[in-house]
Every structure is written in structure tokens, then in C-alpha cells.
Chain A
Amino acid sequence: MTPDALTGGFADAPIQSARAFRAAMEALSRPGKIETVAGAQPPAPLSVAAGVLLLTLADGTTPVHLAGAHDSPSVRDWITFHCGAPLVAAADAVFAVGTWGAMQPITRFAIGTPDYPDRAATLIIEMPDLTTQGPRLTGPGICDVAGLSLPETAAFRANHALFPLGIDCFLTCGDKVAGLPRSTLVEDI
């Protein structure tokens, strides 16, 4: 294990993870709202926000899939040390991290079962930029309408059609994070 893998975690895990959890919950329950998080210094290409989400949400019972360039030795070691999460193939993942391109096709990921819709994957999508300008979002947690700079709409519309099954997404860029749960309807503007 590289010595760098041992650094860059939370310095004060109870406080920092509680703040990060609050931000993640806000992001997912108010789609289109962009939150700022802090506390992780993960190895590239993992963003600060993706690192914070993993430190907060992933542990030994949540298998993680690393897609594309994110599947590097330094990222693997960092997650193993700080989260203890097993690294797995896409189909077995509870969380997946990567760029939108590297995640394709997203139909590889678990969408839950009718008895247990919660047994679905949550994708952490690393974005080149993240703003509220983009496709129109409506649904639970959104007053009237919101927007988010999504990479596309078709895949998210197809995912929404699976409701109550389907994946949930976080979109990350630097220290910014937004949420896009399966309940949100996405439309081109």
C-alpha cells in the first residue's frame, strides 16, 4: 500500500462525517441544489466531493465499483484504507464512482427488487463542471422547477421510468455535490 493512501481522510470523523452526511442528504432530497463539502484530500482523479461522499457513506458492507480512470492503484488503496469497502464489478456495487462516460452503460448497475427497492446502486458521477444551468428537473423535493448541468437526459428519464426501482446519483465536481434521485423527472429545455 502506498504511504499516500494513508493520508487525506477525515481528521475529525464524527463531526466531519455528520456535516457531510447532512450535505449529502440535502443534495439528494432537494435535487438541483448544489452543496459544498470539505474534509477529504483523496488522490486524483477522485474529486474532494467524491472522496467526502465515500468517507461518509461507504464502509465494509458497501461494495464500491471504480469505473474507468478512477480504477487506479492509488484510489483503490485510499478507499481500502479509509473506507474498508470491498472493490467489485459494476453489477455487485452499492456505490460506483467515475465519469459519466466511464459509467456507461448504466444498466449494468443494480436497480433494486420490488421487495427491496433500496438494494439499488448509487452512482457518484464526476463532472467537468456542475451548475444549475441545464435540463429541467421536477418531482419530490423540488418547489416548481430546478435545473442541473446533466451530461444527458435520456438515461435519467429511462431510470425514472423504473420507479420505485432504479439507481440514484450524486454529481460531483471539485468540492461541489448535487443529487439526482430516481424520483426526479428530467426534461430537456
Chain B
Amino acid sequence: MTPDPNLDPTPDTTAHSDRKAWMGLLARASPGQLAGLLPDLPAHDILRAPEIGAVMVRGRIGGTGAPFNLGEMTVTRCVLRLADGVVGHAHVQGRDRAHALRAAVVDALMQTDAAANLRQTVLTPLQTAETTRRTTRASKAAATRVEFFTLVRGEDQ
């Protein structure tokens, strides 16, 4: 394959982990919140129109062993190219075509000079919302943790 600065096939470089992080965040984001943060989309060519499909989710036997097929989940994917040639990809959970389109636009813009601004106006609010949602749920679970206590015997003063 011809190398492309945006699509370096070597996995897990710093550039990738950054891009992986925002793509994951966009995939998990609420479509409504994303649309609110980025109402207007820049001009773009569609390379793969938003497409609803299924991804087979796999687990591992015993949590750590050989893979098995657990069942599918709905996923929508989209690929587009901005006017300046930068390509954005998205695979997002669910069946919301507008969500996939917006996620692909953000993925493309994050590879341009607009990145710093976009991080502040779109990614940070999404991250904050996600952290709040996760922490709320985790703190409710934490309140149901059993604190076993044993009556102290002996001469501990």
C-alpha cells in the first residue's frame, strides 16, 4: 500500500492513539449532543455514504480464552473527504446516519488546522459529558459495595 501521512498502517503510534481516542469518543457520544456542538458541516464529498450495518461482537471463552461470537450490534459507518482533501472516517454505534456523518467530519477536521479549536468546542464537552455519566453510574455502584466487618477480638487497644 502506498503510505499516506494520515493513514500510517503502523499501529499504536502516538498520532494513532490520539486519533483512536477521538474516534472512540465520537462513536460513544450522544448524537443529539454532537449535533448541538457542531450544527453546521463544512463542504465535503461523500466517499462512503452513511451506511447502517451490523458488527459481530466477540467474547472470549472464560473471559481470557479462545474467541466466540456473542451477537451483533448495530453500527453506522461513513467516509468523506473535505474540500482540502483530508479524509474522515467514522464507525458509530447505533443507526443514526447524521451521527456517523458528523463523526466523520470531526475526524477529518481534527487532522487539519482546525483541530485545536475543535478539541475545545466539540471534544472537550463530549468528554466532560461522558466522564460525568460514567462517574455518576460508578459512584452509585460504589455505594452498593459491601463493607464486611468482623467484631474485633483480642486486646487491640
Known pairs A1-B7, A6-B79, A6-B87; A73 contacts B48 (CB<8 A): no
Q: CB distance B4 to A3 under 8 Å?
A: yes
In whole angstroms, what is the CA distance A3 to B11 when docked?
Answer: 19
Query: CB of A9 within 8 A of chain B?
Result: yes
Residues of B within 8 A of A73 (CB): 1-2
Are A13 and B85 CB-contacts (below 8 A) given A1-B7, A2-B4, A3-B4? Answer: no
Question: B49 — which chain A residues lie within 8 A by C-beta?
Answer: 11-13
Decide if B1 touches A6 in the complex (CB within 8 Å).
Answer: no
Question: What 1/0 flags go to A69-96 for Cβ under 8 Å of B?
Answer: 0000100110001000000000000000
How many chain-A residues does the 8 Å CB contact rule pick out?
A: 13
Q: A13 contacts which chain B residues (CB < 8 A)?
A: 49, 51
Specify the chain A residue showing the minimal Cβ separation from B51.
A13
A7 at the interface (CB under 8 A from B): yes
Q: Is the CB of A1 within 8 A of B79?
A: no
Query: Which of chain B's residues 1-18 have a Cβ closer than 8 Å to chain A?
Result: 1-2, 4, 7, 9
Give the docked Cα–Cα distance between A1 and B1 (Å). Answer: 5
CB distance from A131 to the nearest CB of B (A): 36
Q: How far is the CA of A13 from the CA of B48 in the complex (A)?
A: 10
Q: Is B81 an interface residue (CB 8 A)?
A: yes
Q: Is B47 an interface residue (CB 8 A)?
A: yes
What residues of chain B lie closer than 8 Å to A77, measured between beta carbons?
1
B15-40 vs A, CB cutoff 8 Å, 1 = contact: the mask equals: 00000000000000000000000000
Interface centre among B2, B4, B9, B81 (most CB of A within 10 A): B2
Interface string of A1-39 (1 = CB under 8 A from B): 111001101011100000000000000000000000000
Taken together as a complex, chains A and B put the C-alpha atoms of A7 and B49 apart, in Å, by 11
Bound Cα distance from A76 to B81, whole angstroms: 21
Complex partner residue of B85 from A3, A9, A11, A76, CB under 8 angstroms: A3
Smallest beta-carbon distance A44→chain B, Å: 15
> In the complex, how many angstroms separate the beta carbon of A123 from the nearest chain B beta carbon?
26
* Minimal beta-carbon separation of B49 from chain A (angstroms): 7
On chain B, the residues within 8 Å of A3 by CB distance are 4, 81, 85, 87
Interface string of A124-149 (1 = CB under 8 A from B): 00000000000000000000000000
- Complex contact A7–B47 (CB within 8 A): yes
Q: Can you list, as one digit per residue, whether each of B121-141 has a CB less than 8 Å from chain A (1) or not (0)?
A: 000000000000000000000
User: Is the beta-carbon distance between A6 and B47 smaller than 8 angstroms?
Assistant: yes
Among B7, B48, B81, point to the contact of A9 (Cβ < 8 A): B48
For the complex with contacts A3-B85, A6-B81, 4 further pairs of A-B residues with Cβ separation under 8 Å are: A3-B4, A6-B48, A7-B47, A13-B49
Interface residues of A (CB under 8 A from B): 1-3, 6-7, 9, 11-13, 73, 76-77, 81
6 A-B pairs within 8 Å (CB atoms) are namely A1-B1, A2-B4, A3-B85, A6-B47, A77-B1, A81-B48
Q: 4 smallest A-B Cβ distances: which pairs?
A: A6-B47, A2-B2, A1-B7, A1-B1
